[in-house]
Amino acid sequence: MTGSTPQRDPDHPHDLVGVGIGPFNLSLAALAHGIPGGLATAFYEQHPAFHWHPGLLIDGATLQVPFLADLVTLADPASPWSFLNYLRTRDRLFPFYFAEKFHIQRAEYDAYCRWVSGRLPGLHFGHQVDAVRWNPERALFEVDYTQLDTDGEAEALGRAYTRNVVLGVGTEPYVPEPLKPLADAPGVPVIHSADYLDHREMLLAAEHVTVIGSGQSGAEVFLDLLRARPAGAEKIHWLARTEAFAPMEYSKLGLEHFTPDYTRYFHALPERVRGELLPRQWQLHKGIDADTIAAIHDELYRRTLHGGWPDAVLTPGVQIRTAGRVATTKVELHLEHIQQATRSRLTTDAVVLATGYRERPVDRMLAGLDPYLRHDSANRPRIDDAFRLVLDESVTGSVYVQNAEKHTHGVGAPDLGLAAWRSATILNSLTGKEPYPLPCRTAFTSFGLERREAPRIPAQGQVLTPLTQS
């Protein structure tokens, strides 16, 4: 819901202001709504409504986590904001029961989140947060925002006062340096997979298409294009830097890297060890779902039944050195095979960059907090085990982060399966109580010689008395 802009003066501040309304802050808002007595919260999002990766809601594409990894269930199975309750309100519980689907389609997850966002109070879309500052005289955070009209133009300015802030601004598409000039140029057929569906018809009409990236998005785009193009005239290249189009680690014990137990273990490791470990764990979260790999192979094999091979080239171990335009409509990619140390050129009519996402920078928004922020040796923000930015002791409020803590909490930071647990951890810290009791143990694996139990986390500064939610 958009709702009226919340107005609270310094004498009646919010308990919590959220910046961004993606799945993680939506999870936090839903669980905050369930705290007895309520919290005074407001969540701001610059977009006019909730949408989750709309450009990748490819027909049939599923989540890589079970439906239990919704916004609330793993912290509060009885919450009215659960996926099962969403199905109940739609009279779809029995169809879902008989469908026996543990992994739901992405489009259905998006519809579920939009259902929550349209009914949960305290969410304010069309509000762009411009700055977050600490006011030492009032011992409060000041959050400046711009209210936007339906065209995204500035309509009004406002300020909210709050004891605590949570940043959930998400990530943004990553474009490799050699391809940035082309991706930024108008009319050049180089797009990020985040915008795939918006350009699908153009890509289907292109004579030759190149997909770059070996993760799940690249695989789904390649499969969708393959299925839609005629046998014998597919004309698709699929390139990747990784040594193979590798399956995601999805064994039962492998999945325990996405538990609170592993998150606590990783956070307690020395900074140097964490930095060395993360790149080696790419297959835990950047590989391809085994069913998608099987579907690709099945489709390729089907096209050999009457003799010949499909006109599709799948080449791992390749990096893009440079890229440029040829004539007015084509793109030339200069390739280098990493293991062979050989180079070649590829001319294509369109490029889809399935090159992932990076944390959205918040330096400008948090410029007013810079004197209070504490950084690690790589100049990244230090984040404690309660997902709080480590600030100067003079700051009595807390700034929490969601999906901005991979360097301190590990590969589970962007994983939907840890959303409810992290939200509950934040709320337990913020209230100084335990509105959501959390499990002490969540994995059979003991990741270190000394088991780290779930800590009792005191709130930073004062303990809050819940107020009525705005």
Here the tokens at position 176 are 């490799």
- DSSP reduced 3-state for 213: coil
* Phi, psi (deg, nearest 5) at residue 329: -120, -10
Domain assignment present for residue 442? The answer is no
**Average pLDDT of the segment spanning 169-183:** 94
Q: What is the pLDDT of residues 382-399, one digit of tens each?
A: 999 999 999 999 999 999
Last residue of a domain, one of 327, 356, 385: 356
Q: Which of 455, 124, 20, 36 is nearest to 28 (CA)?
A: 20
Q: Does 253 map to a domain? A: no
Same domain, 321 and 200: yes
Is residue 148 located within the same domain as residue 183? no
State pLDDT tens for residues 70-90: 999 999 999 999 999 999 999
| 384 in a structural domain | yes
| Residue 423 and residue 405 share a domain | yes
How many domains does one find in the chain?
Answer: 2
Q: What percent of the chain has pLDDT over 70?
A: 94
Instruction: Compare 425 and 11 and report the one with higher pLDDT.
Output: 425
Return the ∠ at Cα 425 (arms to 423 and 431), rounded to 5°: 100
Domain that holds residue 425: 16-170+360-431
pLDDT at residue 250, as a whole number: 92
Verify that 198 and 144 share a domain, yes or no.
no
Question: 3 falls in which pLDDT band (50, 70, 90)?
Answer: very low
If you average pLDDT over every residue of the chain, what do you get? 93
DSSP states of 446-468: --SSS--PPP--PPSSSPPPP--
Does any domain span residue 323?
Answer: yes
pLDDT of residue 295: 97
Measure the CA–CA gap between 185 and 84, rounded to whole angstroms.
Answer: 44
Q: Indicate which CATH number applies to the domain containing 368.
A: 3.50.50.60
Please say whether the beta carbons of 166 and 366 come within 8 A: no
- 368 and 326 in one domain? no
pLDDT (0 to 100) of residue 313: 97
Task: Among 356, 384, 416, give the residue marking a domain's end.
Answer: 356
pLDDT at 9 > cutoff 80: no
Residue 3, phi-psi category: left (phi > 0), alpha (psi -120 to 50), beta (remainder): left
pLDDT of amino acid 469: 44
Shared-domain flag, residues 178 and 326: yes
Q: What percent of the chain has pLDDT over 90?
A: 88
Which residue is it, tokens 């049939």? 60
Fill in the amino acid letter for 184. Answer: D
pLDDT at position 186: 87
Integer Cα distance of 16 and 46 in angstroms: 18
* Helices 290-302 and 216-228, axial angle in degrees (round to 10): 20
Same domain, 57 and 91: yes
pLDDT tens string 255-299: 999 999 999 999 999 999 999 999 999 999 899 999 999 999 999
Check whether residue 212 and residue 345 sit in a common domain. Answer: yes
Q: What span, in angstroms and rounded, lies between the C-alpha atoms of 289 and 292?
A: 5
Average pLDDT of span 147-160: 93
Which segments within 126-184 are labelled E, that is strand?
A: 127-135, 140-148, 154-162, 164-167, 171-173
Region for 170 from its dihedrals, namely left if φ exceeds 0, alpha if ψ lies in -120 to 50, beta otherwise: left
What's the token pair of residue 406? 């991979």
Between 206 and 457, whose confidence is greater? 206
State yes or no: pLDDT of 407 exceeds 60: yes
Q: Give yes or no for a contact between 25 and 70, defined as CB atoms under 8 angstroms apart.
A: no
Helices and strands counted in the chain (H then E):
13, 18
- Indicate the SS3 state at residue 275: helix
What the block records as the tokens of 296 is 């690709």
Query: Among 307, 331, 356, where does a domain finish?
Result: 356
In a domain, 461, yes or no: no
Same domain (yes/no): 40, 157:
yes
Quick check: is 292 in a domain? yes
The answer on 191 and 116 residing in a single domain is no
Domain assignment present for 272: no
**Tens of pLDDT, residues 419-465:** 999 999 999 999 999 999 999 999 999 999 876 666 665 555 444 54
Q: Tell me, yes or no, whether 202 and 351 share the same domain.
A: yes
- Cβ neighbours around 371 below 10 Å, total: 11
Taking residues 48-69, what's their average pLDDT? 95
| Residue 402 and residue 302 in one domain | no
Dihedral angle sign, alpha carbons of residues 411, 110, 180, 148: negative
| Band of pLDDT at residue 334, cut at 50, 70 and 90 | very high
Mean pLDDT of 403-413: 96
pLDDT of residue 464: 52
Which two tokens mark 369?
A: 């907090």
Question: Which of these, 49, 66, 116, 62, lies nearest to 87 by C-alpha position?
Answer: 116
The answer to whether residue 275 is domain-embedded is: no
| Cα angle for residues 411, 416, 422 (degrees, 5° grid) | 80
Token readout for 392 is 């100067």
Tell how strand 236-239 and strand 140-148 pair up. Answer: unpaired
